[in-house]
Amino acid sequence: MKLSAFGKKFTSESGILKLMDDLGNALAGDKDMIMMGGGNPGHVPEIEKVLKKRLETIFLDQNQFRRLIGIYDPPQGEKEFVKELAKMLNNDFGWNLTEKNIAVTNGSQSSFFLLFNMFAGVMDDNTKKKILLPLAPEYIGYADSGLCDDFFVSFKPKIDFLDNRIFKYRVDFDSLKITDDVGAICVSRPTNPTGNVITDQEVKKLSELAQKHDLPFILDSAYGTPFPDIIFTEAKPFYEKNMILCMSLSKFGLPAARTGIVIGDEDIIRAVSGINAIVNLAPGSFGPMMALELIKNNEINSISSEIVKPYYRNKAEIAVELFHKELEGTNYYIHKPEGAIFLWLWFKDLKITTYELYERLKKRGVIVVPGKYFFPGIDDEAWVHRNECIRVTYSQESEKVTRGIEIIGQEVKKAYK
C-alpha cells in the first residue's frame, strides 16, 4: 500500500493512537484492567440523572426528536444552541457575542485539528508556521495534529517546589520567545496532563503578547470555566477580541456526544464552519440538543460548580493522599492538583524511564500514560524530566483507583531499587 505524506503521518505511531489502542484493547480483552490512563470522565450519578431526564423529554417531543436524529445541522452547528450559548455567555460575563461568534465541532480534538492547521504548517508563500505552546507538558492530543512535521515550538516551565512533595509548573516568560515562524499561541487551562491552572495574570499576559505580535491566542478550556468548571483554584472566565476560546461538553458528562465549541471572531467562525462542511458536512446534533435546555436556563453553570467540581475535587484529594501513602520512601513529587481529572507524578532520578514503568504496569493490569508523549515542541533529549513523569486519571470507580495506586506504588518502589 502506497501512502501519501498525509497517510504516512496519520497512520504512524503516535501518543494518542498508542493511548487509544491500549484503552480499546484493554476494554475488549478478558483481563480486568484498571484504566488510569484515558481521559474518560467519571460516571457522576447526579449528572446522569439530569441527562437521562433531558433525553426522555426529547423522546416525548416529536419535533425535538426529529431535530436530534433526522436533520443535518448547518456547518456552524445547531442554530438554537449557538444562539442560546451566546446569550448565556453575554449575560454572565458581558462578552458581547452573537451567534456568528460560535461554532460547533465534532469534539475538541476536531476543533484543534482544524484550528492548528488553519494557522500553522505550509503557508501560501511556502514558508512554514508553528503553533507555540508557552509551556510543556501539554495535551497529548495536540502532538500529532499538524499536517507537517516540526509543527510545534514549546518551552520548559519554571518549577516551584511547594510543601509536602507538591510542585507547580509556571510559564517562564523570561525564556518565552515569539519568532516570525509562529502562527498562533495555544495553552490549555486547566492543563491536561498536569492539572495545572495558569493564573489569570498569566492568561492576560499571554493574550497581550499575542495581540502585540498579531497572533491568535487559543485558550483550551475543555475542563475549565464556565463549564464543566473542574477547577479547584481561583480562575476567572476569560475572552478577548484576539482570542479563540475552545470548550467542550465531554467533561460535563457527554464524552460520547463528541461536542466541541469554538468561540472567536466572525471570520474565524466562518472558516471553521467552512472546514466543517468539507470534512463532516455538519457537526452532530446530539450534544447540542442534550445541553440546550441546560444552557437556556443557565443550569449548566450551576450544575458544573455545585456537582461536577466537588465530585472531582473530592476524588483528587483522596488520590493524592493515597499516593503519599503508597509512594512513601521514594523520590516522588505530585503536581499541585488545581483542576482537570488527572494527577501528574514526577519520579525524580528513577532508574528506568516511565515508558518502561508503563509497560511494567500494563503487565500488572494498570494503564497509565508515560510522560514522554506530553512534550511536543521540546527537542532537548538530554532533559530527563520528560522520562520521569506519568499521567494518571482518578476519575474512575474508587475501588479500582485505590487498587491501581497500590500497584503503581509497588512498581515504582521496585524501579528505584
Domains in the chain, CATH or no CATH each: 5-46+303-416 (3.90.1150.10), 72-302 (3.40.640.10)
Q: What is the pLDDT of residues 27-67, one digit of tens each?
A: 555 567 899 988 889 999 999 999 999 999 999 999 999 99
Q: How far apart are CA 2 and CA 334, in angstroms?
A: 45
Q: How far apart are CA 300 and CA 83, in angstroms?
A: 15
CB atoms within 10 A of CB 332: 20
Reference 405, options 327, 317, 312; nearest CA is 327
The H or E element containing residue 297 is none
Give yes or no for residue 97 having a pLDDT over 60: yes
The predicted model scores a pTM of 0.93
- Contact, 394 vs 34, CB < 8 A? no
pLDDT band at 380 (very low <50, low <70, confident <90, very high): confident
Q: Which three cell numbers stand for residue 170?
A: 509556571
Give yes or no for residue 23 having a pLDDT over 80: no
Sort 131 into a burial class: Cβ within 10 Å, 0-12 / 13-18 / 19+.
buried
Average pLDDT rounded to a whole number, residues 274-297:
94
Average pLDDT rounded to a whole number, residues 231-253:
95
Average pLDDT rounded to a whole number, residues 365-394:
92
Query: How high is the mean pLDDT of the chain?
Result: 93
pLDDT band at 125 (very low <50, low <70, confident <90, very high): very high
Distances (CA, A) of 5 to 128, 147, 211: 16, 9, 34
The letter for the amino acid at 249 is: L
Q: What is the pLDDT of residues 155-185, one digit of tens each?
A: 999 999 999 999 999 999 999 999 999 999 9
Q: How far apart are CA 365 and CA 55, in angstroms?
A: 35
- Contact, 179 vs 147, CB < 8 A? no
- Contact, 188 vs 203, CB < 8 A? no
pLDDT band at 15 (very low <50, low <70, confident <90, very high): low
